[in-house]
Structure 1
Amino acid sequence: MLASENSSSHPVSFILLGIPGLENSQFWIAFPFCAIYAVAIIGNIAVLHIIRIDHTLHEPMYLFLAMLATTDLALSSSTQPKMLAIFWFHAHEIEYHIEYHACLIQVFFIHASSSVESGVLMAMALDRYVAICFPLHHSSILTPAVVGKLGAAVMMRALLWVSPFCIMVSRMPFCPNQVIPQPYCEHMAVLKLVCADTRVNRAYGLFVAFSVVGFDMIVISISYVMILRTVLGMPSGEARLKAFGTCASHICVILALYIPALFTFLTHRFGHHVPRAVHIMFANLYLLVPPMLNPIIYGVRTKQIRNRVIQGCCGKLP
């Protein structure tokens, strides 16, 4: 991003480099990125459509899945169109002063969507816990109203936690060199361009990351410990296998989100010896792979969704 000619504290435009070190390969790298993005968009829209038209799927598990699909659409679409424009059309610069705010809006959507996705996965773990440990009371505990309140709480947490560091950055002066060495605006990358003491911003960023991910992972871990205790106590091997099967897709989705997310987060702050190209590629995959994998995992492992997809494609159920 380029600083303004009159030394304004806010830049006139930004330069997003893409993937430093792989400039000559970016044109070809964009093709698999585009394919992944297309699968994510089609898959999540298909999941939302199936849940909307099939009233038998208006249950907590599928309502949470609809929230996850909506979040995945927001997460991937907040970065990929601009990224593909950089890779294919060399549209590195975001021009005009208003786009400074567009960069911060992108920062907000990336981190807010990530927070919401983590919160929805936590809510889905609670749903699995109630379904397996209290099967007779599942429908009375997780009513549609409770599901709605959980979804609203997750969204409100993202809004209240993420907005402050966007506001703080917007009020700080920027250095003359406004170049971001990656294909999208992200909190730590933008913060490195600030010509002021950023310790408060960095501390708050750490607080948000650990309070969101830490809290969600603790709840998920406790839920699965209780699930494991209940499942191992089942007398029937078939019942145990079925219970594990209902959790397998959720566990895969959790791993697909948290592993690249934690790698990206820790590398930004402590991985100074990690090659920049490797770090940025992982950061891009963190924004692309979970939105692509989530509908595939649930589509393959969830019989109702799988049958609906087959019915839509082939006109009949197997």
Structure 2
Amino acid sequence: MVMTLAEHFCLRRTLSQKTEGICTMEPANKSEISPNSFLLMGIPGLEHLHVWIGIPFCSMYVVAVVGNVTILAVVRAERSLHEPMFLFLCMLSVTDLVLSMSTLPRMLCLFWLGAHHIAFDACLAQMFFIHSFTAMESGFFLAMAIDRYVAICDPLHHTTVLTHSRIAKMGAAVLVRGVAFFSPHPILLKQLHYCRTRIIAHTYCEFMAGVKLACVDIGATKRYSFSVAFVIGSCDCLFIAFFYALILRAVFHLPSREARLKALGTCGSHVCVILVFYSTAGFTFLTHRFGHNVAPQVHIFIANMYLVVPPFLNPIVYGIKTKKIRKHVLSSLRVKLS
């Protein structure tokens, strides 16, 4: 499938002399190649819509950057917001900013300027940021679920259980886990030898799409990547479901109907964001392993969603819908306008 898409791409696009020959099909028995660059294809079959697809992606990128920077600025400025929930939210905002800024600008250059070339080392760096910070995003969702569980089920001991020291240790554990398990990905890719097309049928440097271009046995590399992603993603997802089940049980035992509705509204919006993240990421993961009959444009479009949508939704759901943050943002705007 990759070879067919690559041939289709080469036939439809006339590249400059600099890229000529890179798109040429090399026989598998030729000498091994260490490429200096890759070509990102975008969304195969939807090349004629790239300009239009870039518009909502750019809008979500602007909202993600402005929203997450606003959350960081507000929490930093207001000492009353230095609580567990908002500290975890800041960690999530930093993760969203890194994910957005490491993927969206390059993606928009591809959609709007036809910039298909990406340097080999830049591709490896983008790969590291995507996979490691996606794992961190999952970890911070779990940390925030733990925070909500303690806040609702044991509110009197919330600040004593989740002290600043413990919050820092939890954040460090999530950071170290993401770096430790996914830093081998670009290292493994760099050690592979390439003797096929250098075209990646994707909008960004995705690990499995790059691995499939190698002309050596990649069985062990694929097994490592799948096992790490599966263990981290499934464990985080199961623990999040467990804590939210406990939260729901506690919510239904609240004496006040108003309190129950408020807690359900807050937790419901959080769960929606988490479902969007895990459903799109899970679809991408399972498609690489089992979905050989899934249309490439469907697979790649949804693969973009788990990198684009959560950073866009998180500052809205966790920020604007949070009364304390909304109050401080509005008061700051009033001061500046007056």
Q: In structure 2, what residue type is equivalent to 1:123?
A: A
Match of 1:69 in 2: 93
- 2:203 equivalent to 1:179: no
Matches of 1:244 and 1:26, distance apart in 2 = 39
- 2:163 equivalent to 1:139: no
**Deviation digits for residues 199-249 of structure 1 (CA, Å, limit 9, x no counterpart):** 111111111111111111121111112212222223332332233234233
- 2:277 equivalent to 1:253: no
Comparing 203-212 and 110-119, the one that deviates more: 203-212
Match of 2:72 in 1: 48
Match of 2:108 in 1: 84
SS at match of 1:79: helix
CA contact (8 A) 1:9 1:172 kept: no
Comparing 82-91 and 136-145, the one that deviates more: 82-91
Match of 2:144 in 1: 124
In the TM superposition, residue 157 of structure 1 has moved relative to its aligned partner by 0.3
Match of 1:200 in 2: 220
Match of 1:31 in 2: 55
Could you tell me the TM-score, scaled by structure 2's length?
0.87
**Deviation digits for residues 88-133 of structure 1 (CA, Å, limit 9, x no counterpart):** 1111112xxxx31221111110001100000000000000111111
Provide the alpha-carbon RMSD of the alignment: 2.1
Match of 1:107 in 2: 127
**Deviation digits for residues 125-174 of structure 1 (CA, Å, limit 9, x no counterpart):** 00011111111111101001101100000000001110123222211111
CA contact (8 A) 1:47 1:295 kept: yes
In structure 1, the gaps of 5 or more residues are none
CA contact (8 A) 1:3 1:12 kept: no
- The share of aligned pairs that are identical, in percent, is 51
Q: In structure 2, what residue type is equivalent to 1:236?
A: S
What count of residue pairs does the alignment treat as equivalent? 313
Q: In structure 2, what residue type is equivalent to 1:283?
A: A
Could you tell me the TM-score, scaled by structure 1's length?
0.93
Matches of 1:31 and 1:246, distance apart in 2 = 30
In structure 2, the gaps of 5 or more residues are 1-18
Match of 2:9 in 1: none
Matches of 1:302 and 1:248, distance apart in 2 = 13
- 2:40 equivalent to 1:16: yes
